Chains A and B, each alone.
Chain A
Amino acid sequence: MKTRLVNTALPVALLAILGLSWEASVHFFEIPSYILPGPWEILKVMWQRMDLFAAHGVVTLIEIGLGFWLALVVGLTLAVLIHASRIIERSFLPLIISSQTIPVFAIAPLLILWFGYGIGSKVVMTAIIVFFPIVINTVEGLKAADPDTLALLQILEASPGQVFFKVRVPQSLPFVFAGIKIGVAVSVIGAVIGEWVGAREGLGYLMIHANAQLQVELVFASIFWLSILGMGLYGLVVVVERLLIPWRHGGSNK
């Protein structure tokens, strides 16, 4: 209990110190707010323009949500296929890995061209970023089954399907969630890049728009809201993980 309190208090304290020194420097050096607004001013904008952020935030959230589900379905399917077949593993895996060397920025304009100015291109962009850690971690997880346990199942005359669903799938869950956590943390990037390159709504669009008009406090407020959005999604994944993998958390050291 005590360590938990310390674990929450420490980052909060650090954040407070950083915020206070930021606020102090802005006043001390008399930095104009169109270069760098202080955190207090940003917080005020975040609160006062709530309706604006809510409207654009919902759009970004939908893009991230749809992109994430697309990545999850494609990623898990690919991982299972890669696990099931050596040929698929040998042909797909190198391509999947090398696909990640292409910066998403580079293909963003193409995606706009193919999937349109609307939500589609952002969903695809998010999915491209998110599916990679999910595929790689799930493949690792499916491989991770203990050989002695597999031998036990063999002696019990289990079918390949039974081995898959009774051992490999539950065994891989912690790995899958490790991948999902990385994916969800970077999912915001995909949606925002998509909105930068071409959009009419969303927090990324709002940022670009505000930047062009030197409304720097609005830019910062958008960044803060994006960060809160990302953290909220991450927290949601952690909650789902605890529900789906109770054996990893419930009373381990008794």
Chain B
Amino acid sequence: MKKHGGDSLIQVEDLSKAFSRGSDTLQVLQQISLSAEPGELIAIIGPSGCGKSTFFNILAGLLSPDGGSISLNSKKVPHLRGRMAYMQQKDLLLPWRNTLDNAILGMEIQGEHKRMAREQARDLLKTFGLEGFGDSYPQELSGGMRQRVALMRTILCKKDILLLDEPFGALDAITRSIMQKWLLKVWGQFGPSILLVTHDVDEALILADRIYVMTSRPASIKGSLQVDLQRPRKITELDMVKCKEYLLGLLEDELTVPEP
């Protein structure tokens, strides 16, 4: 799985992480290597609890790795903070802020003028399907709308790398498929590089340029798949079915029920 793409935007090599609990050590990540080109949409799939979130927390600088390296434009960096925006399954909207003010949180913290930030956010409400809800509080919005506000906040951080950690995992199937369309639209409009963690094979196939498959704990990269299919994609297309078969084959060992 070693790559030597010198012009990669992000290059992760042999990243490892273990947690110690008393005298036990729990190996969570084992030599994770992957890369992302500028503007690429990368999906990482793997079984639940395999350590995908730990991997993202390391990239975000919330945890430090035991070994391995992260490079940005071929330069080694401790983490991607400052260059990336992060979105999680929980929308993490502040209940005391309305849609606009939640969306501009990142800009505000970066020191942008509040009024100008609000203007920019207001212009984007339509893009995110939140027209007329700029002054609504999060508790007045549906789950899908809240997640779109979170997506808007992530985009408005104006970073060229987005880490999305199962962003639609808490939504129902129909809302999720709508949100995937939103994501593609927004990605096409703003063009960031996206690392998307999901446990939904279909979601990865519909969205990603390239898909990495992770093993269960300790997580390592089992294989990857380049998906060179036209968007919008349908999960029922023959090529998609073939890709899915291949991915499920890679995941099969991870999905078997352990013998008692």
A148 to B165, CA, bound (A): 13
Please report which residues of chain B, range 93-152, place their CB below 8 angstroms from some CB of chain A when the two chains form the complex.
94-96, 105-106, 108-110, 137, 139-140
Answer yes or no: B86 CB below 8 A from chain A CBs.
yes
Known pairs A247-B137, A252-B139; A156 contacts B61 (CB<8 A): no
Q: When the two chains form their complex, are residues A155 and B140 in contact, meaning their CB atoms are under 8 A apart?
A: no
- Looking at A151, A152, A173, the one whose CB has the most chain B CB atoms below 10 A away is A152
Instruction: A166 to B140: give the CA distance in the assembly, Å.
Output: 21
- B181: Cβ under 8 A from any A Cβ: no
Contact check, A155 vs B90: say whether CB atoms are below 8 A apart: no
| Nearest opposing residue in chain A for B138, CB measure | A247
20 extra A-B contacts, CB within 8 A, seeds A157-B82, A252-B139: A146-B92, A148-B88, A148-B92, A149-B92, A149-B94, A152-B86, A152-B88, A153-B109, A155-B62, A155-B81, A155-B84, A155-B85, A157-B110, A166-B94, A166-B108, A173-B96, A245-B96, A247-B137, A252-B140, A254-B139
User: Size range of the interface on B?
Assistant: 20 to 34
Chain A interface secondary structure, helix, strand, loop or mixed? helix
For chain A residues 136-177, which have a beta carbon within 8 Å of chain B? 146, 148-149, 151-158, 162, 166-167, 170, 173
Within 8 Å of chain A (Cβ to Cβ): is B197?
Answer: no
CA distance A245 to B97 in the complex (A): 11
CA distance A147 to B170 in the complex (A): 19
Cβ B137 vs Cβ A157 within 8 A = no
CB of A251 closer than 8 Å to a CB of B = yes
Cα A155 to Cα B88 in complex, Å, equals 12
How does the 8 Å CB contact mask read for B76-89 relative to A, with 1 for contact and 0 for none?
00000110111010
Residues of A within 8 A of B86 (CB): 152, 155
Contact assessment for B105 and A157 in the assembled complex, using a CB-CB cutoff below 8 Å? no
- Taking the closest CB of chain B, its distance from the CB of A200, in whole angstroms, is 47
B-side interface residues toward A, CB under 8 Å?
A: 60-62, 81-82, 84-86, 88, 90, 92, 94-96, 105-106, 108-110, 137, 139-140, 157
Q: Which residues of B contact A103 (CB under 8 A)?
A: none
Q: A155-B60, A157-B82, A254-B140 are in contact. Are A148 and B90 (CB under 8 A)?
A: yes
30 A-B residue pairs with Cβ-Cβ distance under 8 Å, sorted by A, are: A146-B92, A148-B88, A148-B90, A148-B92, A149-B94, A151-B62, A152-B92, A155-B60, A155-B62, A155-B84, A155-B86, A156-B106, A156-B109, A156-B110, A157-B82, A157-B110, A162-B109, A166-B105, A167-B94, A170-B94, A170-B96, A247-B96, A247-B139, A248-B95, A250-B137, A250-B140, A251-B137, A252-B139, A254-B139, A254-B140
Contact of B95 among A148, A151, A155, A247 (CB under 8 A): A247
Q: Which residues 49-82 in A have Cβ within 8 Å of B in the complex?
A: none
